[in-house]
């Protein structure tokens, strides 16, 4: 089955296809000169629907959809994600687009800047602010990370439609067990070294959260200093950073079909944000973070300086893993990270990647 890899960059969207599992054909840019921070591939309509969250320095942020794998696009005149006038807020960008569960075929979620959650019931053509989270008493104390105030993670529970988890920089993890009517922080065990109280109820700078494929109660989090696992759907967390060369980084990705397998890309912390030892290496754990191993076969051997952003790594298919760099290279592995090959080079700064079998 052909693979589609959607690559969001600082200057538009590129689409890479691999018809027979070997080699890649890259087209684009779609939406040139826009920052594409969010891409989703929704398989539920039959023909996969592409949803793209983009930001133009001239026209502002919007969301576009395609039902023919990027041959044509629908973009409404009015931005489909917008804050109601009474909130006094304006949309900075869409950071995350996530299809709802199989039991809600037209539901799509969007996480934004400023930190807010929006819900669509028409497949992503229009969205409504989730007021319960916006009106949460903690919201006014949420801060902005170095890249902005980003709600970058939205994780509907695959088996329980009433449960959904979100995460933001900075604010932490929040959980709902009543379909978004109420929310509670889920940060117990996550350290925030930069705050006077290093173990606060909320305020952590979460960089990304991923859900284990085989055990939906298990989550993995990459924080601003800290790599964690939760075995109770985000209520409590324990560190799994031992064995990594650094506990700082941006992405964390769970294997789509192998329970306990998770990937990350460690960086030297804070003042540098280069790959550790200036080496291009993905780290993999196959036992839910108890042990880690570096993966670099097929990746550059020479000194490597670009970083990998929070949504610039993904998994798709039985054993496919992908990541893109801030210097415009995209790499693919078809064997769970054991070996890698180049998909594309000389692209603009890669902001996000998403893969699907089409």
DSSP class per residue in 25-61: EEEEEESTTSEEEEEEEE-TTSSPEEEEEEEETTTEE
pLDDT score of 76 more than 90: no
The residues pairing with 210 across neighbouring beta strands, listed in sequence order, are 220
276-325 pLDDT, tens digit per residue, is: 999 999 999 999 999 999 999 999 999 999 999 999 999 987 779 999 99
* Lowest-pLDDT choice from 3-7, 74-78, 198-202: 74-78
Please state the pTM of the whole predicted model.
0.96
The pLDDT value recorded for residue 148 is 86
* Sheet-wide strand order for 35-42: 35-42, 49-56, 60-66
Q: DSSP label at 280?
A: -
pLDDT score of 264 more than 80: yes
pLDDT score of 352 more than 90: yes
* Sheet-wide strand order for 150-156: 150-156, 164-169, 172-176, 184-185
Going along the chain from its start, the domains and CATH numbers come out as: 3-77+88-357 (2.130.10.10)
Gap between the Cα atoms of 131 and 232, Å rounded: 26
Nearest residue to 11 (alpha-carbon basis) of 26, 40, 31: 31
41-69 pLDDT, tens digit per residue, is: 998 767 789 999 999 999 999 999 999 99
129-145 pLDDT, tens digit per residue, is: 999 999 999 999 999 98
Percent of the chain residues past pLDDT 90, beyond the cut: 85
213-255 pLDDT, tens digit per residue, is: 889 999 999 999 999 999 999 999 999 999 999 999 999 999 9
Phi-psi region of 137 (alpha: psi -120 to 50; beta: other; left: phi over 0): alpha
């Amino acid at each position: 089955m052909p693979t589609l890899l959607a690559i969001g960059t600082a200057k538009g969207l590129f689409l890479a296809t691999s018809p027979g599992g070997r080699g890649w054909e890259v087209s684009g840019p779609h939406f040139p000169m826009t920052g594409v921070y969010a891409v989703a591939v929704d398989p539920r309509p039959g023909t996969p629907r592409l949803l793209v969250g983009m930001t133009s320095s001239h026209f502002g942020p919007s969301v576009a959809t395609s039902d023919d794998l990027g041959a044509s696009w629908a973009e409404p005149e009015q931005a489909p994600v917008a804050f109601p006038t009474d909130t006094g807020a304006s949309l900075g960008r869409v950071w995350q687009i996530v299809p709802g569960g199989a039991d809600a075929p037209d539901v799509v979620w969007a996480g934004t800047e400023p930190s807010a959650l929006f819900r669509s019931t028409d497949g992503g053509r229009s969205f409504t602010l989730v007021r319960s989270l916006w009106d949460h008493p903690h919201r006014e104390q949420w801060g902005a990370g170095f890249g902005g105030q980003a709600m970058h993670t939205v994780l509907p529970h695959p088996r329980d439609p009433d449960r959904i988890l979100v995460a933001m920089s900075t604010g932490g993890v929040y959980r709902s067990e009543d379909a978004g009517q109420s929310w509670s922080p889920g940060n117990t065990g996550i350290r925030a070294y930069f705050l006077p109280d290093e173990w606060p109820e909320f305020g952590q700078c979460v960089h990304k959260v991923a859900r284990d494929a085989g055990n939906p109660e298990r989550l993995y989090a990459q924080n601003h200093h800290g790599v964690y696992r939760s075995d109770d759907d985000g209520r409590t967390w324990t560190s799994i950073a031992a064995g990594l060369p650094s506990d700082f980084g941006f992405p964390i990705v769970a294997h789509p079909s192998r329970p306990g397998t998770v990937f990350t890309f460690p960086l030297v912390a804070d003042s540098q944000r280069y790959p550790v030892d200036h080496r291009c290496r993905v780290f993999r754990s196959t036992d839910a973070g108890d042990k880690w191993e570096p993966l670099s076969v097929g990746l550059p051997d020479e000194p490597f300086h670009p970083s990998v952003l929070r949504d610039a790594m993904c998994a798709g298919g039985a054993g496919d893993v992908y990541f893109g760099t801030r210097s415009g290279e995209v790499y693919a592995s078809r064997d769970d990270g054991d070996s890698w090959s180049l998909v594309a080079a000389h692209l603009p700064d890669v902001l996000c990647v998403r893969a699907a079998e089409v």
